[in-house]
């Protein structure tokens, strides 16, 4: 064996001729064309009970993702029972069928599968990720969770205590305070988008097993759901398996909920929530946005990317890179079946809260002017180039296909996405900015140390300042006793 001292020089000598080939670093490499996305054809099936199935075959690896999307979410919370939908969703996998919570978790782990439940404004999703070889028993467990949750009283009390603890912790977290304040100010407490998914202390304490069972029975019916399946299966193989697991599911029509469009913000109002001693201020500037069905969807994505939807955006470059007020500033439209919010936000150093608001207002006004060719190209490429990467796994694909279910998009939507983004023009960006961004009609919200920020905010003359306490937003901190 040669000593190491003789091997290393030999390696360097062997590499020497290559070092003479110096790369050209005088300019960054040119971007190639955005990769096209061509997904397999969608197949639509229907089980004997009317449950619709959207199937996409992906035979790269022996895995299957199955997402049951039920059209029930927080907008379906009954009056006086805010948080019921989210609480019910959290209980679905805390014991189902013949298995209690621990036994169910053990069975899922034994199969090498993953099963989770998520609730948003309009849907409850039960997501299963499983090896193909374990698909049959995994679907059986999934069906138990969806159709036969136990709602054990002991688990309910454990979940209740967890939620009360979370609510208590929120009193010391400015960002959590803002997450409750922001939709309430923008939409109002009576609007379905205007309340916290968690609910209040009173609603958390009031919910019962009977409430959950009634809510589940009313909304979890096959006509109110779609099953999205992606993986190493064919229609002929998977339909009998789905029929075995879900074919016995019965139920009538679920009650429909119509979400009204909220009135647009008129003028400017400032809401300052006092958090004494806060090292940072949570800042949000918001107005009502637009529904997902808008024809301006692609132009809005590109415009918002320029404004605050990427690291290179105007807001982030100004507040983070140039001013160093924050670790990150951003903006976004939350597209929903009914118009959701538009918000620009950041966590900023307390002593520059007023200066940060000046920059937010400046950028919201400036985006209404024509953008540069460089900004347009960079934003379109940012959106288009990263889009195909979100279709790499069966789980990612299934998540994306849910959009077709929730928003009624055409089957070729994803294959046309990149081309439609690249077709957005400077005129399109300016048009949607002028239509949807208006710095003179916004709600401005700050959670921070009032003693240090109030005078600076008032000096800006942005609008009337409404002073609030954390208790005004969250209520009194819950007292959690050992018997709860």
> Taking the domains of the chain in order of start, what are their residue ranges?
43-246, 268-474
The DSSP letter of residue 207 is -
445, β-bridge pairs: 271, 284
**pLDDT per residue over 335-366, tens digit each?**
999 999 999 999 999 999 999 999 999 999 99
Q: Which residue has the tokens 């028993």?
A: 137
- Answer yes or no: is pLDDT of 2 > 50: no
Fold of 268-474: Cytochrome Bc1 Complex; Chain A, domain 1 (3.30.830)
Q: What is the pTM of this model?
A: 0.89
Backbone angles phi, psi at 112, to 5 degrees: 75, 25
Q: Which helix (H) or strand (E) holds 285?
A: strand 280-288
Average pLDDT, the chain: 93
On whether the CB atoms of residues 125 and 68 are closer than 8 A, the answer is yes
Burial class (CB in 10 A: 0-12, 13-18, 19+), 245: buried
Size (the chain), residues: 484
CATH of domain 43-246: 3.30.830.10
63, β-bridge pairs: 131
CA distance 404 to 410: 7
CA distance 79 to 420: 41
The DSSP letter of residue 367 is T
pLDDT at 21: 63
pLDDT at 12: 40
On whether the CB atoms of residues 454 and 272 are closer than 8 A, the answer is yes
Intra-chain end-to-end CA distance of the chain, in Å:
72
The DSSP letter of residue 391 is G
- Answer yes or no: is pLDDT of 323 > 90: yes
- Tokens standing for 210? 């009977």
On whether the CB atoms of residues 56 and 102 are closer than 8 A, the answer is no
């Amino acid at each position: 064996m040669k000593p190491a001292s003789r091997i290393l020089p030999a390696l360097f000598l062997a590499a020497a001729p290559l070092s003479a080939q110096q790369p050209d670093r005088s300019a960054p490499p040119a971007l190639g064309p955005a990769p096209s996305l061509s997904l397999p054809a969608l197949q639509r099936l229907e089980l004997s009970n009317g449950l619709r199935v959207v199937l996409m075959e992906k035979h790269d690896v022996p895995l299957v993702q199955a997402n049951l999307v039920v059209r029930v979410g927080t907008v379906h919370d009954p009056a006086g029972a805010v948080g019921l939908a989210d609480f019910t969703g959290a209980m679905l996998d805390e014991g189902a069928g013949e298995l209690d919570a621990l036994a169910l978790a053990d069975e899922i782990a034994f199969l090498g599968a993953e099963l989770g439940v998520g609730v948003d404004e309009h849907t409850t999703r039960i997501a299963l990720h499983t090896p193909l070889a374990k698909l049959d028993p995994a679907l059986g467990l999934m069906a138990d969770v969806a159709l036969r949750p136990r709602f054990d009283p002991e688990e309910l009390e454990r979940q209740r205590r967890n939620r009360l603890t979370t609510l208590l912790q929120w009193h010391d977290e400015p960002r959590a305070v803002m997450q409750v304040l922001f939709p309430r100010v923008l939409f109002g407490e009576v609007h379905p988008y205007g309340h916290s998914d968690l609910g209040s202390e009173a609603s958390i304490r009031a919910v019962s097993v009977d409430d959950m069972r009634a809510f589940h029975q009313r909304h979890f019916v096959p006509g109110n759901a779609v099953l999205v399946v992606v993986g190493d299966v064919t229609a002929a193989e998977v339909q009998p398996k789905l029929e075995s697991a879900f074919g016995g599911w019965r139920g009538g029509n679920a009650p429909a909920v119509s979400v009204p469009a909220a009135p647009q913000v008129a003028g400017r109002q400032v809401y300052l929530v006092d958090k004494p001693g806060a090292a940072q201020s949570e800042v949000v500037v918001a107005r009502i946005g637009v529904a997902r069905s808008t024809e301006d969807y692609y132009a809005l994505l590109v415009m918002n990317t320029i404004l605050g939807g990427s690291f290179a955006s105007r807001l982030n470059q100004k507040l983070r890179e140039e001013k160093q007020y924050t670790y990150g500033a951003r903006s976004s439209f939350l597209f929903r079946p009914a118009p959701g919010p538009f918000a620009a936000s950041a966590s900023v150093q307390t002593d520059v809260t007023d200066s940060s608001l000046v920059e937010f207002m400046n950028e919201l006004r400036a985006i209404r002017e024509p953008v540069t060719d460089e900004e347009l190209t960079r934003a379109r490429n940012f959106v288009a180039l990263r889009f195909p990467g979100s279709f790499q796994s069966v789980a990612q694909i299934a998540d994306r296909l849910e959009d077709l279910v929730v928003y009624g998009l055409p089957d070729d939507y994803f294959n046309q996405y990149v081309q439609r983004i690249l077709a957005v023009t400077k005129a399109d960006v300016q048009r949607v900015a002028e239509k949807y961004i208006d710095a003179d009609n916004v709600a401005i919200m700050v959670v921070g140390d009032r003693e240090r920020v109030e005078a600076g905010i008032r000096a800006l003359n942005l609008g009337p300042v409404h002073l609030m306490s954390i208790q005004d937003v969250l209520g009194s901190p819950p007292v959690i006793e050992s018997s709860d």
